[in-house]
Structure 1
């Protein structure tokens, strides 16, 4: 079977998937299969007693080697979430879909973009450790559930901020998948820490950082060799100074350029993390130095793509197409 197929794990309801698959078609890659949980895609993955795999999607047997783009974004409270079934069953269905996508990405190995290896630890302090190892500046950080340590850390910083370690959301209804509230980055005054009940801090890890005084911020989209940076003028409005996501419509976003040294560090970080695609966030301080905050491998970028006439879509499609062609070359060589 000498087929070349790109398999997308996600839904065309996600505009990122629709943009990239359409651009691939425009460039001659007609064989893109989206395993779409919104569109009623049917599939079977069978393993025999020797663990040989057979994947069938909508009645079609797919080749054993496919390029797999894992664009999983099954987020509660968004248009990407599970629609089928009743409310009580959607949380379970969402977990099963996430597990199935993770399974297909793991089986794809190096043909998965991003790879399963790169997804093992996307927790921010781990990313910061990797970023520092390639020469990027990172803020001092503490993860603790001990009030005394958090208070001591605060005394060593001009300002301290608290973030979510997991990037999870807060549920107003308790357990389950009903989680529409994002935990934003926030300043925490010393008097609030002093007044806090130690047992309330003990409940879970708390992720604290020194606050870097900002001139502006960067969102840097990376797709393979392409680096596409945007300046975010978050300091013009009080509501966006600590976390620009609090009022995204107020910010001004503009395409910018990075110096070659910073670009080299970003490429080194992506290589160390095993990432092909990612959206990186930086703070630019008052002296013009860049401070790495985090990398989101599934970062939203469609609104930025509209500012640059589809440049990001081009970059994603080009990288998938490059891998698609390389897979064919390998097959021909064999």
Structure 2
């Protein structure tokens, strides 16, 4: 059986579940956001071995039945509604997170892409940029800072062709409405308001001209590369995430063998079995690394290009069933 940790509105899970069923493998889809309000977890050390049980939907599962865990996009633990006091809710949710972290670490099975601690580390752009440089990827000159004067220096060095983006993709609110900070060219007007940078760091890089953008999805040792023709619309020219799937054209891209190999090595070096890598292909034919997302979206690429990413994920997950001798249909 496969344990899937993700929120219930996750469309990617719905793409993979039928593939698991075709392979004769059961799956339990559980969101840690149901814990501790609606689910129970017990970890018991007996005779030198841990036994973990999960109770959800009135059914108890021993962790030993799970040959793999797909750590997709779980919600954070949530206290029960009856816990009304804010400080009590904060306490309950914090200790629940601590227990979940320990449960993951002691839970000996195959994790896809990895345990949460490893996912969060790999998601840190300084970490995956450093790993990419080490493996010989071409990476733009990068400054990460909250020093307003560093913004001026980076803008000058880039001869006015500078972009800013978040250290982490985080939604925030303005007058009660959710917003995201997308990749943004830095103008002279931004320099006049540069003191606002002191309140939160940003990533600064010289603008890289694009022929196309590439989303490279690595599943184990398999690589799927899609071209995103983002330059055909002003809406997606600087950051295709504004309107992915609406204004851009998509195609399958034949990645050079050496670069494909390094993509697999990059994901593996970060302790992951999966990763979505964003790369720019310049008009001159140079591949420029931007970042890696260990929980990146891929469903819309499968829709537009027919790349069999969900099949590859299902294959990776059920491989553990074969290793422990469980019956898996072809």
TM-score of Structure 1 vs Structure 2, range by shorter chain: 0.7 to 0.9
Find the aligned partners of 2:224 and 2:93 in 1 and give their Cα distance.
Answer: 32
SS of 2:238's equivalent in the other structure is coil
Residues 293-330 of structure 1 show CA distances to partners (whole Å, capped at 9, x for unaligned) of 1111111111111234461110110111113322448x
Deviates more, 1:50-59 or 1:135-144: 50-59
SS of 1:282's equivalent in the other structure is strand
Question: Aligned residue pairs: how many?
Answer: 311
1:105 is matched with which residue?
A: 104
Shift, 1:39, TM fit:
8.9
Shift, 1:105, TM fit:
3.3
2:130 is matched with which residue?
A: 129
Correspondence 1:244-255 to 2 at 5 A: 244-248=240-244, 249-255=246-252
Which of the numbers 13, 19, 22 marks the counterpart of 1:17?
13
Contact 2:69–2:111 under 8 Å retained in 1: yes
Contact 2:20–2:318 under 8 Å retained in 1: yes
Correspondence 1:293-332 to 2 at 5 A: 293-309=290-306, 311-328=308-325
2:171 is matched with which residue?
A: 169
| Runs of 4+ in structure 1 over 4 Å off | 37-42, 88-104
Find the aligned partners of 1:308 and 1:241 in 2 and give their Cα distance.
Answer: 20
Q: Identify unmatched segments of 5+ residues in structure 1.
A: 76-80, 330-334
SS of 2:54's equivalent in the other structure is strand
Q: Identify unmatched segments of 5+ residues in structure 2.
A: none
Go from structure 1 to structure 2 and tell me whether the alpha carbon gap of 1:18 and 1:101 turns closer, same or farther (over 3 Å shift): farther
1:190 is matched with which residue?
A: 188
Go from structure 1 to structure 2 and tell me whether the alpha carbon gap of 1:11 and 1:233 turns closer, same or farther (over 3 Å shift): same
Find the aligned partners of 1:16 and 1:104 in 2 and give their Cα distance.
Answer: 25
SS of 2:297's equivalent in the other structure is coil
Find the aligned partners of 2:33 and 2:268 in 1 and give their Cα distance.
Answer: 33
Residues 168-211 of structure 1 show CA distances to partners (whole Å, capped at 9, x for unaligned) of 112125xxxx7731111000113531x1253x222221221111
Go from structure 1 to structure 2 and tell me whether the alpha carbon gap of 1:126 and 1:179 turns closer, same or farther (over 3 Å shift): farther
SS of 2:174's equivalent in the other structure is coil
Contact 1:12–1:18 under 8 Å retained in 2: no
Q: TM-score, normalised by structure 2?
A: 0.83
Q: TM-score, normalised by structure 1?
A: 0.82
Correspondence 1:139-158 to 2 at 5 A: 139-158=140-159
Find the aligned partners of 1:102 and 1:328 in 2 and give their Cα distance.
Answer: 29
Contact 1:141–1:209 under 8 Å retained in 2: yes
